[in-house]
C-alpha cells in the first residue's frame, strides 16, 4: 500500500495483457511463469482495473515480489533471476514515471536477499537475507541506513533470545504505523516454563492436536527498532509474540 493509501502495488502471475481485448490475443495473453508487479488505484469506495507496471520496473524474464513503497513513490522489491538468485531493487518515481529499476549496492547477488521494507522517508531499509552470517543458511533480518546517495553497512537484527546463529528463521518484516515497531514472522518458539498447571498442559495438547501445528511453526512477532535506529545495535530489543 502506498503511504497515503491512494494505490496498491501487488504481485501477480496474471497475463501481461487483458484476455478480453481483441488486439491483445496470442502470446502476450498466455500467462507467463514469472510474477510481475501490478497497480490498482483507489476509486472512492472501490478500485481501478489492475495495470501492469512498466518494464522499467518489471525486469524482463525475472520474477518480482514483495513491493514496498516510500513516501516519494520509490518502489523497493525483490527480483528473482533465472538462476534463482534473489536481489533487492528499487525504481524511483520521477516526472510522473517509474525510472529504470536498479539493484541496491548492498545486494550484489552473493546472498539471498528478500522482503524489503522501506521507511516512510527512505532513511532505512529492513530486509531478510540468507548467507550473510558465517555457517548460517537461515533467513535473518538486517537493517541498512541511507548514507548520502547510497547505503551504509548492513547490520543484523538479533534480539534477546536469538543471539546464537541459526536459532530461528525470521522473515516478512513490516513496519508498524509508528515506523518504530517491526512485525515479523518467525519460527522461534515461546520459552516453556515448568512446572505446567493442568490448564496450561491442556492448552499445550490442544495446540498439538491443531492441524496446522506441525505444518507451520511460524508465528507473528514484534520487536522495537529503536536500538538499531539509535545506533545501539548491541542493545538487543526483546521480541514479543503478537498472538
Is 2 inside a domain boundary?
Answer: no
Q: What is the pLDDT of residues 163-211, one digit of tens each?
A: 555 567 889 999 999 999 999 998 876 667 788 888 988 887 777 666 5
Is 24 inside a domain boundary?
Answer: no
Which residues, 6+ apart, have CB-to-CB distance to 67 below 8 Å?
9, 10, 11, 37, 75, 76, 77
Q: Can you give the pLDDT at residue 196?
A: 85
Whichever domain contains 211, its CATH number is: 2.120.10
Is 132 inside a domain boundary?
Answer: yes
Is 25 inside a domain boundary?
Answer: no
Q: Can you give the pLDDT at residue 168?
A: 76
Question: Cα–Cα distance between 16 and 19 in angstroms, integer?
Answer: 9
Q: Can you give the pLDDT at residue 19?
A: 42
pTM: 0.81
Is 182 inside a domain boundary?
Answer: yes
Q: Is the pLDDT of residue 76 over 80?
A: yes
- Structural domain that includes position 208: 7-17+34-241
Number of folded domains that form the chain: 1
Amino acid at each position: 500500500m502506498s503511504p497515503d493509501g491512494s494505490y496498491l502495488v501487488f504481485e501477480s502471475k496474471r497475463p501481461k495483457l487483458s484476455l478480453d481485448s481483441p488486439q491483445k490475443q496470442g502470446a502476450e495473453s498466455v500467462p507467463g511463469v514469472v510474477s510481475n508487479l501490478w497497480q490498482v488505484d483507489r476509486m472512492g469506495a472501490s478500485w481501478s482495473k489492475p495495470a501492469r507496471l512498466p518494464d522499467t520496473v518489471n525486469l524482463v524474464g525475472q520474477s518480482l515480489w514483495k513491493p514496498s513503497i516510500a513516501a516519494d513513490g520509490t518502489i523497493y522489491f525483490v527480483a528473482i533471476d533465472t538462476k534463482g538468485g534473489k536481489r533487492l531493487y528499487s525504481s524511483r518515481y520521477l516526472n510522473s514515471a517509474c525510472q529504470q529499476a536498479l539493484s541496491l549496492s548492498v545486494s550484489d547477488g552473493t546472498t539471498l536477499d528478500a522482503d524489503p521494507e522501506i521507511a516512510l522517508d527512505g532513511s532505512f531499509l529492513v530486509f531478510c537475507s540468507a548467507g550473510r552470517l558465517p555457517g548460517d543458511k537461515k533467513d535473518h533480518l538486517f537493517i541498512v541506513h541511507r548514507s548520502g546517495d547510497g547505503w551504509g553497512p548492513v547490520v543484523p537484527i538479533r534480539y534477546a533470545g536469538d543471539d546464537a546463529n541459526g536459532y530461528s528463521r525470521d522473515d516478512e518484516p513490516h513496519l508498524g504505523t509508528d515506523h518504530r515497531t517491526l512485525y515479523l514472522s518467525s519460527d522461534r518458539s515461546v520459552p516453556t516454563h515448568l512446572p505446567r498447571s493442568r490448564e496450561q498442559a491442556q492448552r499445550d495438547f490442544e495446540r498439538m492436536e491443531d492441524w496446522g501445528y506441525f505444518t507451520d511453526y511460524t508465528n507473528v512477532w514484534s520487536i522495537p527498532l529503536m536500538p538499531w535506529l539509535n545506533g545501539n545495535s548491541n542493545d538487543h530489543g526483546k521480541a514479543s509474540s503478537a498472538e
